[in-house]
């Protein structure tokens, strides 16, 4: 297939496809799917070998967010049955992080719901980072607190943060359809603040919200142009009690095509399979590892993932290996660019997020060794009668610890 030969050749050279080529990836057929995965896999192995970076999430503050992001179970007015609690203490968060690192996680993502942090919140996170670094000085820490005010990114960097996470989520043209309490430009501004302070930019998207192929290509090219070092690809988890509860638009094949498109546009950038991996890729998750080089391990912010050991077994069985703490994630030339940009105070990067306005978005973390929370299951909406429509009865969303007082991953 000429398209895939062209994309593979470009990716091996670290070159970017045209918009038309990216759109063509999303338009490939199921008969061509394995060819698409194989082509993206060649590019992935060129820059990242067979390593898989593991990331672990600690949800510092859950629920009660004043933002109205329509995809989020923690949004203003959400009726989703999720855990709601205020800030974890530093020792609680450090214990949770320790469990994740013991399971193989190289990066710990500290997430808190809300529009953005107060200066007091920055102090809290600073104390938490100190407790985590005391136990493991080498662990990477990514912070996701929502929209940043002036000088807050500098304070996080000085306190030991390595990265800041804030997603663009969707294209600029359709952003107003999923949130009205802040703008696409607000998100870009926050990541520019983080990048200007010397923090690595982690920024991605959410697929499955009813967007078009053009929207997906727009946001992925925007992320590339803004210089995101890590691109989390979330697949919408349609929580009951949110406006997007009935948006079951994804199939495993569609998810793999989206991942492949993201890889071709970001050949030498960390591509992470984030929220919704288990819900939408299901038994085809191992194929995703041939495209992406990073995953979240175990549970997500307000929903459960598969067991952490199952993730580790999947990586091993698929012929991959967990990336070690001493190994560089990015290729040397990308790392040099990131370091130069950080040293020079460059502000051209994308908005990232382990969450939404705060930590609302679908992200994951490993709860290895943590006490089990009682969970309840929310069945998806009734399946359509038409044979050619998606069957939402095939999937259930498991809410994280609903009906208990146990903090996730604590």
- Each residue's pLDDT tens digit, 296-310: 987 767 667 788 889
Q: What percent of the chain has pLDDT over 90?
A: 64
Backbone torsions φ then ψ of 205, nearest 5 degrees? -145, 170
Range from 237-251, 312-326, 388-402 that averages highest in pLDDT: 312-326
The span from the CA of 171 to the CA of 169, in Å, is 7
Closest CA to 368 of 58, 114, 80: 58
When pLDDT is cut at 50, 70 and 90, the band that residue 132 belongs to is very high
Active site residue 72: yes
Of the residues 69, 255, 347, 360, which is catalytic?
69
Active site residue 124: no
The span from the CA of 251 to the CA of 208, in Å, is 10
The span from the CA of 372 to the CA of 406, in Å, is 9
Pull the structure tokens for residue 204.
């991605």
Within 107-243, where are the H helices? 119-135, 152-158, 184-196, 213-226
The span from the CA of 298 to the CA of 289, in Å, is 15
The span from the CA of 24 to the CA of 18, in Å, is 10
DSSP secondary structure letter of residue 277 = I
pLDDT tens-place string over residues 70-125: 888 777 777 777 778 889 999 999 999 998 899 999 999 999 988 999 999 999 99
Of the residues 109, 144, 255, 363, which is catalytic?
109
pLDDT at 230: 96
pTM: 0.85
Q: Residue for token digits 């940043």?
A: 148
pLDDT score of 377 more than 50: no
Lowest-confidence region among 140-149, 213-222, 231-240 = 231-240
CA 154-157-158 angle, 5° bins: 85
The span from the CA of 149 to the CA of 212, in Å, is 33
Of the residues 51, 75, 144, 202, which is catalytic?
202
Of the residues 44, 51, 75, 142, which is catalytic?
142
Q: Are 169 and 219 in contact (CB under 8 A)?
A: yes
pLDDT score of 167 more than 50: yes
Active site residue 347: no
Of the residues 272, 334, 398, 399, which is catalytic?
272
Q: Residue for token digits 């591509």?
A: 271
The span from the CA of 181 to the CA of 178, in Å, is 10
**Radius of gyration for the alpha carbons in the chain, expressed in angstroms and rounded:** 19
pLDDT score of 198 more than 60: yes
Per DSSP bridges, beta strands 270-273 and 294-296 are parallel
Q: Are 33 and 275 in contact (CB under 8 A)?
A: no
Who has greater pLDDT, 160 or 375?
160
When pLDDT is cut at 50, 70 and 90, the band that residue 378 belongs to is very low
pLDDT at 73: 77
When pLDDT is cut at 50, 70 and 90, the band that residue 212 belongs to is very high
pLDDT at 308: 86
The span from the CA of 108 to the CA of 103, in Å, is 12
Judge residue 310's burial from the number of C-beta atoms within 10 Å of its C-beta, 0-12 exposed, 13-18 middle, 19 or more buried.
middle
Active site residue 363: no
Backbone torsions φ then ψ of 134, nearest 5 degrees? -65, -40
DSSP secondary structure letter of residue 151 = T
State the chain's mean pLDDT as an integer: 83
The span from the CA of 27 to the CA of 294, in Å, is 25
pLDDT at 406: 42
Query: What's the average model confidence in pLDDT over 40-61?
Result: 96
The span from the CA of 229 to the CA of 328, in Å, is 12
Of the residues 72, 255, 347, 354, which is catalytic?
72
Query: What's the average model confidence in pLDDT over 228-243?
Result: 92
296 bridge partner residues: 55
Number of H-type helices and E-type strands within the chain: 12, 14
The span from the CA of 366 to the CA of 341, in Å, is 31
pLDDT at 182: 94
The span from the CA of 33 to the CA of 40, in Å, is 11
Q: What percent of the chain has pLDDT over 70?
A: 80
Active site residue 144: no
Range from 4-13, 232-241, 326-335, 355-364 that averages highest in pLDDT: 4-13
């Amino acid at each position: 297939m000429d398209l895939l030969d062209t994309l593979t050749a470009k990716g091996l050279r670290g070159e970017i496809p045209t918009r038309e080529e990216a759109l063509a990836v999303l338009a490939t057929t199921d008969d061509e799917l394995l060819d698409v995965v194989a082509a993206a896999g060649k590019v992935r192995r060129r820059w990242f070998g067979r390593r898989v970076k593991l990331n672990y999430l600690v949800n510092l503050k859950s629920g009660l967010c004043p933002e109205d992001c329509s995809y989020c179970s923690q949004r203003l007015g959400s009726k989703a049955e999720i855990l709601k609690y205020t800030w974890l203490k530093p020792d609680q968060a450090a214990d949770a992080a320790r469990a994740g690192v013991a399971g193989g996680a190289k990066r710990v993502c500290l997430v808190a719901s809300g529009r953005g942090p107060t200066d007091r919140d920055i102090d809290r996170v600073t104390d938490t980072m100190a407790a985590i670094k005391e136990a493991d000085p080498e662990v990477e820490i990514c912070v996701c607190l929502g929209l940043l005010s002036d000088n807050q990114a500098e304070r996080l960097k000085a306190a030991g943060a390595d990265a800041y996470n804030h997603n663009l989520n969707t294209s600029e043209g359709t952003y107003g359809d999923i949130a009205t309490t802040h703008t696409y430009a607000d998100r870009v501004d926050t990541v520019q603040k983080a990048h200007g302070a010397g923090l690595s930019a982690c920024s991605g998207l959410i697929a499955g919200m009813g967007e078009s192929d053009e929207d997906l290509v727009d946001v992925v090219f925007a992320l590339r142009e803004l210089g995101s070092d890590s691109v989390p690809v979330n697949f919408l988890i349609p929580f009951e009690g949110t406006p997007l509860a009935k948006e079951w638009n994804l199939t495993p094949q569609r998810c793999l095509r989206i991942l492949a498109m993201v890889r071709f546009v970001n050949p030498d950038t960390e591509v992470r399979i984030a929220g919704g991996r288990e819900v939408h890729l299901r038994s085809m998750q191992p194929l995703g590892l041939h495209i992406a080089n990073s995953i979240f391990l175990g549970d997500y912010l307000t929903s459960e993932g598969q067991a952490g050991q199952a993730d580790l077994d999947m990586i091993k069985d698929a012929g991959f290996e967990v990336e070690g703490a001493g190994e560089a994630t990015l290729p040397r030339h990308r790392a040099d660019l990131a370091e130069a940009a950080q040293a020079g105070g460059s502000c051209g990067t994308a908005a990232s997020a382990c969450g939404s306005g705060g930590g609302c978005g679908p992200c994951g973390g490993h709860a290895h060794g943590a006490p089990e929370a009682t969970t309840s299951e929310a069945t998806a909406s009734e399946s359509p009668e038409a044979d050619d429509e998606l069957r939402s009865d095939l999937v259930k969303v498991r809410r994280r610890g609903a009906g208990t007082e146990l903090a996730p991953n604590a």
